Amino acid sequence: MKAATSRKNMMETFGLEAVPKEKQTTPWYRFAFIQIAIAANAGNFLVPALAVLEGGLSFFAAVIATTIGALIGFMFVSFLSLPGARLGIPAQYAIRSILGVEGTKYLSSPIRSLTSLYWFSVQTIGGTYVIQQLVLRLTGTDFPFFLFSIPLSLIMVVLAIIGFDAVKKTMTYFLPFLLLGEFTILYLYFTTNATGDSWLMLSKEPIEISWPAFLFFSSLAFVQYVSGVSASADMTRYAKTPKHGFWGLFIGNGIGFILTAVIGCSSAYLFQSLNPYVSSSQLTNSPVLIGIITLTAVISMISINVSNAYTGGYSLLNTFPKLTRIQSASLFGILGVALSGFPALVDEAETYISLLGGFIIPISAVIVSDFLIIKKRQLDHQSLSLIVKTSRINPWAMIMIFFGSILYFSLPDGWSPGFVTFVLVATIYPFLNWKQRWGR
């Protein structure tokens, strides 16, 4: 009986209701550990590496451009974590005060759930391919894809179901191994480059900036990370204070991305490779170093996907509030594990990401604009009353979201449609909503 009670206490049971004040004890550095741990993964290396390979930017220019864009996005993400830290409620539940109950239940929460679910499966599939190749290199045996993808996805889902405490502890334990792996990759890059001293190559590189490419990839990094505004409060509802949540996320995201950008740009500049785990493992025959890189690839995939599953479960819960948190996380996990068995999803990644972005970006722009400008970073009593008014929907928000979606799909790729859409929607929305403020 005591063992059963202990297992029950391990599971996070708080759903849409506020976390009690006595549970809000997590300091800023634990949030920083979590964000650093989830930063360096195959998906996050992509934009910095493409800034070099496709944008033609130099190593330093690519690192600076993508870091600037990401930091601006992380600033908004940190601001939208404040409702979670102040009120102890999850992100999509707080966003009801902006979009209305029906607006979140039937638009933003499903979009957020699909986004988390898609990235969960893509990260699992992409990470499994990397692990499969590294294990082949290490052992000489080509193990079946499913032998890696299914067990790994199950581990990630179980951790997400257990809840925030499992996420916090797991990321803290993972962080030293991840840093060891990341510095091992950099060590291999800068000491064993067959074409010469790689650091000498970088240090002698002329600092020339193509401003169109610089701005484009900076905006691309911004768009990639600003979508986190619809989930960041899920993480900070256990924060000791709002400042601990805000700065923990911002510092952790910033440090994590700088490491990610340096590694991704190094792989692209020195070896014309989008995947640092693959390019670095090819520089050594040492079983120890290949083993470290393989372990890093495994841990990085688990880290990011535990976060995807945890926040995705809350979005699903907001759409189906009759479920418990554990039930919604389990449902998300079942779908995630199933999708992780279809590698073909990765082949159409660009199409799916573009379709999701057409809704994610205008939704994120409305959320940021409303919370920072209209609500002045506070949810007052009237705003909170809107959270439970089930028939309410913010018409101005819906108009701007659908306008933003049309604009996003109409603009050519060269115009950075995500960034342009975000700026225009975030600028226009307050003027529409100012005099006849919704909910007043």
pTM of the model: 0.88
- Longest CA–CA span in the chain (Å) reads 69
Q: Which residues pair with 26 in a beta bridge?
A: 239
Residue 203 has pLDDT above 80, yes or no: no
Q: What is the pLDDT of residues 164-177, one digit of tens each?
A: 888 888 888 899 99
CATH 3.30.70.260 for domain 21-348? no
Look up residue 261 and give its two tokens.
């950008």
User: Is the pLDDT confidence value at 350 over 70?
Assistant: no
Select the more confidently predicted residue: 72 or 13.
72
Encode burial over 38-49: b for 16+ CB neighbours within 10 A, e otherwise.
bbbbbbbbbbbb
3-class DSSP assignment, residue 334 = helix
**Per-residue pLDDT reduced to its tens digit, 279-319:** 888 888 888 998 898 889 888 888 888 888 888 888 888 88
Question: d(Cα 306, Cα 258) in Å, to the nearest integer?
Answer: 21
Q: Which among 106, 110, 111, 101 has a CA at the least distance from the CA of 393?
A: 101
Question: From CA 268, how far away is CA 56, in angstroms rounded?
Answer: 10
Other C-beta atoms within 10 Å of 147: how many? Answer: 12
Q: How many helices (H) and strands (E) does the chain have?
A: 22, 0
Q: Is residue 119 pLDDT above 60, yes or no?
A: yes
- Closest among 405, 416, 426 to 214, alpha carbons compared: 416
Band (pLDDT 50/70/90 cuts) for residue 357 is confident
Q: How confident is the model at residue 275 (pLDDT cuts 50, 70, 90)?
A: confident
**207 falls in which pLDDT band (50, 70, 90)?**
low
Name the residue among 255, 303, 257 with its Cα closest to residue 28: 255
Least confident of 24-28, 330-334, 377-381: 377-381
Separation of alpha carbons 128 and 56, rounded Å: 29
Lowest average pLDDT, out of 105-109, 159-163, 192-196, 229-233, goes to 192-196
Share of the chain above pLDDT 90, in %: 32
345 and 121 in contact (C-beta within 8 Å)? yes
Most confident listed range (152-156, 344-348, 379-383, 396-400): 396-400
Residue among 257, 226, 233, 254 at smallest CA distance from 421: 226
Position 421 pLDDT exceeds 70: yes
Instruction: Give pLDDT, residue 380.
Output: 72
**Structure confidence at residue 264 (pLDDT):** 93
191 has a pLDDT exceeding 90: no
Residue 51 has pLDDT above 70, yes or no: yes
List alpha helices for 90-163, DSSP H: 91-99, 101-103, 109-139, 145-162
Residue 354 has pLDDT above 90, yes or no: no
Which residue's entry shows tokens 């502890």?
169
Gap between the Cα atoms of 126 and 275, Å rounded: 10
* pLDDT higher at 401 or 278: 401
Q: Which of 231, 360, 400, 367 is nearest to 308 (CA)?
A: 231
pLDDT at 48 over 90: yes
Structural domain spans, the chain? 21-348
pLDDT beyond 70 at 199: no
Q: What percent of the chain shows pLDDT beyond 70?
A: 89
How high is the pLDDT of residue 80? 95
pLDDT in tens, 229-271: 999 999 999 999 999 999 999 999 999 999 999 999 999 988 8
Q: Half-sphere exposure of 383 toward its Cβ, with a 13 Å CA cutoff?
A: 18
Task: In whole angstroms, give the CA distance from residue 81 to residue 369.
Answer: 14
Question: Mean pLDDT over all residues of the chain?
Answer: 84
Checking if the pLDDT of 367 tops 90, the result is yes
CA-to-CA separations, 151 to 2, 170, 307, 338, in angstroms, rounded: 29, 17, 17, 12
CA dist 116 and 332 (Å) reads: 9
Residue 5 has pLDDT above 50, yes or no: no
Is a pLDDT exceeding 70 seen at residue 196?
no
User: How many Å apart are CA 27 and CA 395, to the nearest integer?
Assistant: 38
pLDDT value of position 243 = 96
pLDDT computed for residue 4 by the predictor = 44
What's the CA gap between 158 and 420, in Å, rounded?
A: 39
Can you give the pLDDT at residue 440?
57
Tell the burial category of 10 from Cβ atoms under 10 Å away from its Cβ (0-12, 13-18, 19+).
exposed
The three-point CA angle 235-47-122 to 5° equals 60
Query: Tens digits of per-residue pLDDT, 120-145?
Result: 887 788 778 777 877 887 777 888 87
Q: Are 160 and 333 spatial neighbours (Cβ–Cβ below 8 Å)?
A: yes
Contact 332, 309 (CB under 8 A): yes
